[in-house]
Amino acid sequence: MRKKETITSLQAAKGSRKLVMITAYDALFASLFSESADMILVGDSLNMSFLGEPDTLSATLDQMIYHTRAVCNGAPESFVICDMPFGSVNTHHDALANAVEVFRRTRADAIKIEGGKERAPLIKHLTQNAIAVMGHVGLTPQSVRSEGGYKVKGRSKEDFDRVVEDALSIEAAGAFALVVEGVTPELGRAVTEAVSIPVIGIGAGSETDGQVLVWSDMLGLFEAFKPKFVKEYLQGAALVKEAVKNYAQEVQEGKFPTEEHTYQ
């Protein structure tokens, strides 16, 4: 069994080993991922791949707590991060109350908050109250409706400078690490070089301190759409469909169960 990561060990990794983060939404898959991943993120992406909603915006705090609890149960030796859903951290008061609720009802190690410089005072308030916070800059999926789509960041100088400034502000507010999503590889590198905390990339090139992928994407299970940055390490959907087809066929033909799967 691997040793559980801590904020100290994760921060010490910067510049010496690449960090691996993966999402999980339940105990079963979390237990399978815990051996190889340094961190498990209970992402609000679960609203899409688990609940079938078109975006992450309707995820609720109760939903996030339910899934985070399951992940902590399945992977007690993993460093687990709970994504704060849209609307749950709009004021200092709500953010602290909701973060405390996450820690009361789960064994999560940290929370993640989307947003740039404008979130820095709020993140400072949380970190000063003993809440470990991971930031999330660049493309922030919770802004999909206000921005009118998922827009890659860093193609204009204005964008580029703003995301670097966002990262610096979040670091100064006390975040222990950052996700940078949907940016050009140059911007991924610039953010990683600008801050001294670990930067975990998703669609941000290869020069960040680590990578994160959504589990159902990397296992090839989510068929609704496939972002460019996703690498499928398993043809999951095809394998699952084939297995269920075989099961259905054997039931229909009376070939399952045999004596081997029958009580004597």
Tell me which residues are annotated as active site: 181
**149-183 b/e with 16+ CB inside 10 Å = b?**
eeebbbeeeebbebbbebbbbbbebbbbbbbbbbb
Alpha helices in 34-75 (DSSP H): 46-49, 61-74
Minimum CB distance to ligand KIV, residue 217 (Å):
9
- Half-sphere exposure (CA, 13 Å, Cβ side) for 43? 28
Say whether residue 49 binds ligand KIV (CB under 6 A).
Answer: no
The count of chain residues that interact with ligand KIV, using the rule CB under 6 A, is 11
Interface with ligand KIV, residue 214, by CB under 6 A: yes
134 part of the interface to ligand KIV, by CB under 6 A = no
Q: Is 38 in the site for ligand KIV (CB under 6 A)?
A: no
- For ligand KIV, the binding residue among 23, 88, 169, 208 (CB under 6 A) is 23
Rule CB under 6 A: say whether 202 interacts with ligand KIV: yes
Minimum distance of ligand KIV from residue 243's CB (angstroms): 26
59 binds ligand KIV (CB under 6 A): no
The contact mask relative to ligand KIV for 164-193 (x = CB under 6 A, - = no) is ---------------x-x------------
Residue nearest to ligand KIV (CB): 43
Find residue 80's DSSP bridge partners.
40
Q: What span, in angstroms and rounded, lies between the C-alpha atoms of 191 and 203?
A: 13
- Can you tell me the distance from the alpha carbon of 14 to that of 208, in angstroms, rounded to the nearest whole number? 9
Q: What x/- string results for residues 82 through 101 when contact with ligand KIV is judged by CB under 6 A?
A: -x------------------
217 near ligand KIV (CB under 6 A): no
How far apart CA 204 and CA 220 sit, in angstroms, is 20
| Nearest approach, Cβ of residue 83 and ligand KIV (Å) | 5
Task: Report the residue from 82, 212, 218, 219 that binds ligand KIV according to the rule CB under 6 A.
Answer: 212
Residue 211 touches ligand KIV, criterion: CB under 6 A: no
- Farthest-apart Cα atoms in the chain, separation: 73
Whether 138 contacts 153, CB under 8 Å: yes
- Contact status: 44 vs ligand KIV (CB under 6 A): yes
Separation in Å, CA 138 to CA 4, 57, 118, 178 = 29, 17, 13, 10
CB of 188 to ligand KIV, least distance (A): 13
Q: What angle do CA 140, 132, 196 make, to 5 degrees?
A: 75
56-84: burial string, b at 16+ Cβ within 10 Å, e else = bbebebebbbbbbbbbbebbeebbbbbbb
Residues that bind ligand KIV (CB under 6 A): 23, 41, 43-45, 83, 179, 181, 202, 212, 214
